[in-house]
Structure 1
Amino acid sequence: MRLWDMPTRVFKAEESRAVHKTCSSAMETQRKTGSVSFNNYKIFRNGGDGFNQWVILCLGLLNAVLLIVAVVLGINCAKVKEGSLHISNPAVTQLFNELDYLRSNHSDVIEAEEEAKKALESAINNHKEVKVKIEQLKTVNDGYQKQMQALQVEKANLKSNVSALGGSTKYPPIIPFLGLLNAVLLITAVVIGVNCAKVKEGSLHISNPAVTQLFSELDYLRSNHSDVIEAEEEAKKALESAINNHKEVKVKIEQLKTVNDGYQKQMQALQVEKANLKSNVSALEGSCGGCLPGWALFNSSCYFFSYTESSTVKKNWHESREDCVSRGSDLVVIDNQEEQKYVSNIIQNMKTSNSKWENGFWIGLTDMENEGNWTWINNVTEVQQRYWMDGEPNNGGDFGEHCGVAVHSAFNPWKTRYDGNCDLKQLHWMCEM
């Protein structure tokens, strides 16, 4: 139950008006008839005892109401005063806890500040509401004072009327005592109400200096924290930039390693080829400028056909080329029609199967670098499309066909090439140097 609701619930204005109405009706009856009748006609003319009883009843009822009001105001004022001593302790404790947290972790300063502002705004709104309710309570007290003043005036009128009507009528000793008690209770109720309002209003300002100091420190921490956040953001950007640069450097290093590995392989191949060439030169010098044993001479070039060395050994395209390189040569490159005819005729008797697809020889022709763009391994000789067999090259199979094969054709010596799978297909090969 709220403090400002107690007086209106205990001592309602209707009850005061009821007392006033009762007393006023008695006076009105007195003026009209010359006497007051409360179930006893002309009681003043018959001794005045009834009137004295009525006055005692009115004053007693008024004193009881005022006593209840004073007690209720006192109890609630004590509760308000006791509560005011603790109203700011939780808020101050919470602010100090938040302040300690902000000191230890600056990343939450902004959020804590927003919460503190919301709490302050809520306290200000509560303060405004309390001030409005205090004003309402003062208005109620002013109403009580006016009502009490009206009752005092009516009391004085009653006294004058009684004196005029009863002449020497005497009041019992209790009536002055009740009137005095009425005045004392009225003053007590008014003083308690005013002091209670002051205590309630003053309690809202108890912690203002502490709150001001806390917010000053919060502002200081926020300004410093903003600098820390900016420095942190700059450090993050610098770190991200360094990480990106590191990644780029790593990519470049990997690229350089790949290039270096390629150079090393090429150097190794060149060294092997160099050794083979030296041995071939020595052999040629011993043979007076002719071809090595097992090689055939045609137009100043020497040719090696693997079938002549072994009719059963077959290899894929990569292995065949490695064998040619090991011999100081490479897979054959057909430069002209004469060479085309020579190759086609010489392999016609080198057959190991009834299928022409199995009797072919690997040559130095491929489209591994760019599908459909067939080139010789020397990257110089032009590829003649007329030498392909009908329907070739077709890049058939699940794994594709990217290496050239030469076969003998009894019907057309110019249609002697097809594409085969470089890794899976096993054939003989021919070398040239």
Structure 2
Amino acid sequence: MASLFSPSPTAATTFHQDPNLICYSPLRPISKSYHFWSCTNHSKRNNTITCSSFVDEISVSLDNSLSQFPVFQSGYAQFEKFTGELPEEQKLGLLIFAGITWIYLTARPGVLLGAIDAYILSPIQVGLDSLSGKRNFKMKDFLIGERLGEGSFGIVYSGVIVPKNVNLDDIVRKRGSSVKSVVTDSRFKEKVILKQVKIGVQGAAECGEFEEWFNYRLSRAAPETCADFLGSFVAEKTNSRYTKGEKWLVWKFEGDRDLGDYMKDRGFPLNIESVMFGRVLQGLDSIQRNALIIKQIMRQIITSLKKIHDTGIVHRDVKPSNLVVTKKGQIKLIDFGAATDLRIGKNYVPDKGLLDPDYCPPELYVMPEETPKPPPEPVAALLSPFLWQLNCPDLFDTYSAGIVLMQMAVPSLRSTAGLKNFNMELNAVGYDLNNWR
């Protein structure tokens, strides 16, 4: 019995030591160094297990988040296959690097999506538009109507598309050359808005090219924010309506009234209530109704601006006359001639810019004046997230939207004179609204 509790030297059993096993003998206590080694090795194993578990969790999370994007999910599967044989620490490092790269490429203004748009979606759009005839419009395809407005670089008209089976010359001889003369003809169903780019005005041609580019870009990236752009054409000859060589831009008819037109009416904002909501709001007093209408308008403006800013585009000319109101109550941005794409530096010159002094912020420029000229487009695109985070150029449009909000809320600011006086007073107090009040 005693031998069971206090083994003698002869009865003692000594285990054969395997270097890969922790061995114990009652006659040979474990040394301190051996104990430290075993604890350290155990700790390393725990760390490895923890690291492996962490990497697996990240992998599963990424795989789930990329499941909505089959192309990216396939790429991630290839990445996992490539890193499958690497140690867990190296795999974690690569995963972190890939995550940071992904965040950078998808951060505003969207380097990755911009590259996909430029090198894949844009050529596809050109091909599809060419097949459908949108890139082959001619002056005979349209009948110009009444003049709707005029800007520094262009004149806007209403119009209709001439059906392919209709001889425009015969229609003009029988009914005249105006749209009003053919509105009763059931064949002329598709109404459009046309913008004539002025000839002989410095900067007009360039502005027209930029506006066309931005409309095509947004028709792919954020089509709900702007009027449906159909294309353009160049007049082939001179006649009573056209001048040879002048460019015309064409949009689908969305509505013939902009926010500025509604604001000129003394009944604003109640005069736009049924358009915005499809009905007259019941059970509310006039103040509450006014607030809800203005809130609905601003919600749409801010939402549209956010979407175009996500693509790297800053409008730079947000004002009531550039916000068309559709028959369905949608607020859409128009007139992108002053816009700039700060992802690639499109239409951006550091110390120059088209602006309306009544609506632009006191800085006057979308970026600091000391900002250098943009490098080649691929380089500019790679650097654009840094530029955007440092300077927040989207605030230029946000300020303009704030002025529009004040005009809607304060009737005395809706007139040109009232707005100019407000800006002068605000400038006098250093643009401090508390002091202005």
TM-score when scaled to structure 1? 0.25
Tell which has more relative contact order, 1 or 2 (C-alpha 8 A, sep 6+): 1
Structure (1 or 2) with the larger CA radius of gyration: 1
TM-score when scaled to structure 2? 0.25
